[in-house]
A = this chain, B = another copy of it.
C-alpha cells in the first residue's frame, strides 16, 4: 500500500463499513463493532486484513455463508478458560467477545485462555493480542489460517495454513512490543502482490512439487509456501493449528475451507486468545521500565554493515498508526474503485 494514496479518516472508513454490514442485515450495534475493528486493522497498517476484505465478507454474507445475527454460546467454562461457539458469526465479533472474557478472567486468576470454534476470518492477529494491553496485560493470539497453503514437511498436499501468532507486550516510554507473524517465510498475500506487480519472488518463499525454488508468482498454484526454519516452521504451524483448531473442535487439516474460494460453506474457523496479567508477576510500572530497557539494549547494539537501525517488533506498527491517526488512512485507487462498486451494489453512500 502506497502511503501517497488519497487518505480517508478513520471515522469515515468506519461509518462506511458499518453501513455496508447493516445493508446486508447485520444489527446496527454489531455492525458498528465490526466496523471499528476492521478500520482499526487499516489504522495499524494491516492493509491486507482491513477494509480490503470487506467485499469478501459481504459476498459471504449474501451467499448465506456467514451469520449476521450469531448467538455466541459458552460451551465449556472454568475459572481461567472458556470455549466459545461463535455460531458462524464474523470472526472479529467472536474474538472481541473471547478476548474480553479472557481479560475479565485473568484479572482474578492471573492468566486466562479462551478458545473459539464456528468462527470466521477475524482480520489481523495483532488486533486481539493488543486488546489486553489497556489492562496492563500481555496478549497472545493464535488462529487457524483461512486457507491451506503448505504441506507437512516433505509432502506435497496442502494440509496446513500459515497459522499466525501475535503477542503484544506493553512498554513504558516506547511503543508496545508487538510480534505478528505467519509461520511461513512469506505470507500468501505477498505472493499475490508480487504476481499483480509482475515481480519475481526471492528464493526461499516458495518451492515447487519437486522441492525446487519457485520464483515466478504467476506459477504459485504449482507450489507451496515454505515454513520458517524448514521443519521447525512446519512444527509451529502444526502445533498452532491443533491448539487453535482441533482443541476447540474447529477445522484443521483437510477440513479447512478456503475462505476466499468458497463463500457458502461454514468455515468453522478456530482461534484462541491468552491474556496474562502482568500484576500477577510484577509491578506493571517496573515491568514496563524493564521493557524500555530491552528497547534501549536492542537499539544500542553495534550494527551490521549496511544496516542503518535495529528495529523492534511493533515499531513500524506504532509509526504507521501515528501517521494514519494524524493524516488518515491511505486507500489505493483500485481498492477505492472496488468499494465504490460495493456501495452501489448495496445502495449505500460511497466513501
Given known contacts A113-B276, A282-B247, A302-B155, A179 and B235 CB-to-CB distance under 8 angstroms? yes
Q: Give the complex CA separation of A179 and B240 in angstroms.
A: 11
Residues A246 and B287 in contact, CB atoms below 8 Å apart: yes
Q: 0/1 per residue, A109-124, Cβ < 8 Å to B?
A: 1111101000000000
Residues A156 and B302 in contact, CB atoms below 8 Å apart: yes
Stretch of A42-50, A57-65, A86-94, A290-298 on the interface side:
A290-298
A221 contacts partner chain B, Cβ-Cβ < 8 Å: no
- Chain A interface residue count, CB cutoff 8 Å, equals 76
Residues of B within 8 A of A209 (CB): 304-305
A196 contacts partner chain B, Cβ-Cβ < 8 Å: no
Q: Give the complex CA separation of A112 and B83 in angstroms.
A: 16
Residues B179 and A307 in contact, CB atoms below 8 Å apart: no
Residue among A83, A229, A306, A307 facing the most chain B CB atoms (10 A cut-off): A229
Residues A177 and B113 in contact, CB atoms below 8 Å apart: no
Q: Give the complex CA separation of A248 and B287 in angstroms.
A: 9
Stretch of A7-15, A249-257, A260-268, A343-351 on the interface side:
A249-257
Residues A310 and B152 in contact, CB atoms below 8 Å apart: yes
Given known contacts A156-B302, A181-B235, A211-B304, A294 and B113 CB-to-CB distance under 8 angstroms? no
Residues B239 and A177 in contact, CB atoms below 8 Å apart: yes
Residues A80 and B111 in contact, CB atoms below 8 Å apart: yes
Q: 0/1 per residue, A272-283, Cβ < 8 Å to B?
A: 001011101110
Q: Give the complex CA separation of A121 and B235 in angstroms.
A: 24
Residues B159 and A313 in contact, CB atoms below 8 Å apart: no
Residues B313 and A156 in contact, CB atoms below 8 Å apart: no
Q: Give the complex CA separation of A242 and B210 in angstroms.
A: 40
Q: Give the complex CA separation of A236 and B210 in angstroms.
A: 30
Choose among B111, B249, B297 the residue that contacts A112 (Cβ–Cβ < 8 A).
B111
- Closest B residue to A165 using CB positions: B236
Choose among B83, B152, B228 the residue that contacts A301 (Cβ–Cβ < 8 A).
B152
Q: Give the complex CA separation of A185 and B231 in angstroms.
A: 10
Residues of B within 8 A of A278 (CB): 247
What 8 A-B pairs come out closest when comparing CB atoms? Answer: A228-B229, A81-B110, A155-B301, A78-B110, A157-B301, A80-B109, A154-B307, A80-B80
Given contacts A151-B304, A155-B303, 6 further A-B contacts (CB under 8 A): A79-B80, A80-B80, A110-B113, A155-B298, A156-B303, A211-B306
